[in-house]
Structure formats: C-alpha cells, structure tokens
Structure 1
C-alpha cells in the first residue's frame, strides 16, 4: 500500500521471541513550492499529495479556489518530494507581497509564522443550515474506522473524513500528521469530490486552533472529533459559526458550539 513500508522486527512475548514483519507508515519531507519558491516543508505520508497541495494552499490563504492553481507537479527527489505549483497571475502577485516561510514537523500547524496576527487571523463566518442527528455525530468516528486502511495495517496514522447527513462517511484521507490529513481531505473536496458546506469534518485527533482555522477557511460548518478541543479552539469555533462536537463516541458527544445544527436529544434539567 502506498505510504507504508514493511520492516523486520522481533515480537517479544512471555512464551518467546518471534521474527516478523511489521507495516509502518512512511514519513517523507514534502516541499510545497509556488512560483519556484518554497512555501513550506512538512513531514508527510507520500499519498494523495495533489490533494495535500491544494488543501494546504486553500487553508493557508495562498489561493481562494482550486482553479487558481494553474499547474501542479509531483517531483520525487532522493531527499524527499517537491509539489511544484504555478498560480494564476493575480494570486502569484498576492503571494509575492507577503512573506511566509514554514518548516516544521507533523505535530506543528503554525511553524514559521512571523507575527501573532498571522496566528490569530480573522476567519470567514461559516453560514449553513446543515442538520445532523445525534446518532450520526456520535457514531461518526467509529464509521470513519472503515475508511482507514493505512491505520489498520500500521497504526500511527491520523485520518480526516467527510460525513454527509444520511450518507455517512463518503470520503477520507490519511496521513501521519493530523493537519496534513485534514488538508488532504479539504483538497480532495476542492478538486471536485464534494461541497464542503454539505457535510462535516470528522477527525481522529484533538482539535487545536489551527484545525478550526482550516475548517473555517474551507467552509466546513461542522467539526467532529474523537478527542478534546483546546479552550482557544472552542472560542474560535464559536466566533466563526462552526459546530464543534468532541469526545464523540457511540451514544453521545460534548457539544461546544453551533447547537442549531444538531437535531434531537432532549434537554435534561
């Protein structure tokens, strides 16, 4: 499977030691290059890289729509992979007017920002009349498990899925980095796989502020996560008009913002 490698190891148990092969996720440095200039170097799973490039450019504000990227080429090197992009003239000019250089590990979503204002950027208001049932939200992380083949074989891999009311998980992307998995999902949607406003992002990770920012930039009105949010992520989700549901498990979840998009579940005094 692309993005995985089988390596030798020794399985140690009380009864003895057994040599075996174990599938592990690949981790490769990926450079995102626009107009010949590197915008970011991220450690990434080498799969669905076109989706990653488009999603990253959208969520970082480099482009506003996928068609503003006029060409995209995946170029392997001995040291890693380049994603070479050429932008429409007006977006190239806008990019040249700002300084943005990023180099970071998969665990960091804001490495290299050169101002506090960039880290706390204003987000577009997300307006949507989308509605989900309580059961759909609570069961979303478990439903996503069926769309995680890399995780099934290797573990150590995050996923981001797209949940549509009445249809379940219709699209998913995986990566060693939680930010990368979300960017890949957003890129796939922008390239024609679906309308972000018609569903929810389902995350296998915690929800930090940059994950909220990416969803708001993409126009995803609902964010569902298996783990906890940060306090700042909750405040920012509320300000942007997102519905934020965390600790989602069969039977329930913690709803932090946007209750109008959740149908069902009576209030208990």
Structure 2
C-alpha cells in the first residue's frame, strides 16, 4: 500500500533556513473493468483519476456506482490490484474490477474520457444531460436539526488526519441524523473523497443513505451533488459555496443544500422545509 504523505525539502522564508515539509501524495489510479460471460471475458480501461493513495477499492466501487455502471455491491465479483502491470511500481495504481457474469456495464452509454483530473471529475463527460439522466430525486422524509448539522464541519475537520499534516486534502464526511460522524475519507480530489465514502457505505450495505447527511470540506460542485443524489443522500452541507448548477440539480433532486456552513452560520439554497432551525 502506497503512502498518502511524502516528505520534501523546502526553504522557509520566515526562518530563512532549509527544512522538511509534508505533502499529500497525488498519483494516478487506473480503473480496469472485467465483464462478460465466464467463457468470454472482456476488459476495458474506463477511467484514470488522480487521487491520494488509500481506500482505493472503495474509490473504485463508489465511482462505478455513481457512474451507474453497477447498482450495488452484489454486481461485483472481485476488486483487486492488477498484478499483470509490467512496471511493478505501478501495480498499486491499477485496480481491476471483475463484474459478475450477466452484469452489463453499459460501456456504450458511458461517454467519458479516460482521464479525470484530481480537481474535476465531471469535465471528462461529453454531455451534462447524460449526467443528469443518472440522478433520481432522493426520498427526503426526515427533518434534520440545524444545530446538529452546523456542528458537523468541526467534527469533520478534527477527523482529517492527513490534512492535519499537509493542509492539502479535501474531505467528505457522512453523518447520521443524530449528527454522529459515521464515515470520513480524504483525498486530493473532492470527488474522489466522496466516491470513497459512498464505496465504503456500499460495502456496509447502507445505501441508499436516506437518513444521513453529507458534509464536504470545500465548495459544493455539480458532480458532488450528482454523486450524493445517486447514493440517496437528502442533505448536503458544504463549508464553501455551491455552484449554480449544483443548486439547480439539488432542487431537481428534492435535496436540502447548505453552503458556507461554519461558525454557527449557513445559507440554505434549497430544501428549507427539511431543516428544523
């Protein structure tokens, strides 16, 4: 398993000396899909994402689910690192996901480029309409208590172990309706951090996450809302601002979306009726 943190030399102007600094690791992860009948298996490289090593299998599972390639964990036979990679140093950077026979990945419908940057996972899509088609409205039956939601970013920040050393990672945290932190994942890519959370929730058989809410450490982008809707999350709280497209998608999906959630204040962009203030 590769490390999430690395040490580099740095010149600090304040002390005017050389020192060591810790940085978040960024490396490519290639997702390779195996599918088809037992007697006629096919493989396809479906994406490369720049990620921070760690929880790679959760990342792969979450990605396949939020892209609509699989519907649950039972569609997958095995997830493992690909040992057939020629360069031994890259074996931990290629994950091979084997689908069960009879599961159609629908690759002809997955119009996506093979490269995804760490900052933007949706930019490889050839059509925003294609992304919207994946999302259904969430079942929003709960009224969340505002005090529990606005205290969640502090709990998320305290749980960010790698960020504590590097200051260079995004985080997604899944909370239950009581405001308890259930899952936290960090990554240099905000969409990767959320895919890791959703992948972990799938492994725990918790999806759809109808009685949970999500907190993200930065802004709420369109793709984060899309992934949250795919997982059935009814409320998303962002420490930063949402984008206009994120608000539009959240409204269409019957989601409660909060922004600038910090120090006891927040903005409600939609879904106020599901928040008790």
The TM-score with structure 2 as length reference comes to 0.88
Aligned residue number for residue 135 of structure 2: 123
Deviation at 1:86, TM superposition (A): 0.9
Aligned residue number for residue 18 of structure 1: 17
Deviations 1:51-103 (A, max 9, x none): 10110001011101012111100237434611100112333353366554431
- Is contact 1:102–1:113 with CA below 8 Å preserved after alignment? no
* Structure-1 separation of matches of 2:126 and 2:241: 28
* Structure-2 separation of matches of 1:167 and 1:117: 34
What SS is found at the alignment partner of 2:138? coil
Q: Which of these residues, 213, 221, 227, is aligned with residue 200 of structure 1?
A: 213
* Structure-1 separation of matches of 2:233 and 2:137: 11
Q: Which of these residues, 51, 66, 69, is aligned with residue 76 of structure 2?
A: 69
Deviation at 1:159, TM superposition (A): 0.2
What SS is found at the alignment partner of 1:197? coil
* Structure-2 separation of matches of 1:2 and 1:88: 31
Deviation at 1:227, TM superposition (A): 0.6
Q: Which of these residues, 194, 197, 200, is aligned with residue 188 of structure 1?
A: 200
Q: Describe how 1:89-128 pairs up with structure 2 within 5 A.
A: 89-92=101-104, 94-95=106-107, 98-128=110-140
Deviations 1:204-252 (A, max 9, x none): 1211111111000111111010011111111110110111011001222
1:232 has 2:245 as partner: yes
> Residue 33 and residue 182 in structure 1: after superposition, are their counterparts in 2 closer, same or farther (change >3 A)?
same
Deviation at 1:193, TM superposition (A): 6.9
Deviation at 1:128, TM superposition (A): 2.7
- Is contact 2:68–2:134 with CA below 8 Å preserved after alignment? no
* Structure-1 separation of matches of 2:130 and 2:108: 16
The TM-score with structure 1 as length reference comes to 0.90
- Is contact 1:11–1:19 with CA below 8 Å preserved after alignment? yes
Aligned residue number for residue 28 of structure 1: 27
1:134 has 2:146 as partner: yes
1:213 has 2:212 as partner: no
Deviation at 1:179, TM superposition (A): 0.5
Q: Please, which runs of 5 or more residues in structure 1 have no aligned partner?
A: 265-269
Aligned residue number for residue 157 of structure 2: 145
What SS is found at the alignment partner of 2:82? strand
Q: Relative to structure 2, which stretch is displaced further, 77-86 or 227-236?
A: 77-86
Q: Which of these residues, 60, 64, 74, is aligned with residue 53 of structure 1?
A: 60
> Residue 202 and residue 97 in structure 1: after superposition, are their counterparts in 2 closer, same or farther (change >3 A)?
closer
Moved over 6 A (4+): none
Q: Relative to structure 2, which stretch is displaced further, 96-105 or 220-229?
A: 96-105
- Is contact 2:132–2:226 with CA below 8 Å preserved after alignment? no
Total equivalences in the alignment: 262
CA RMSD of aligned residues (A): 2.0
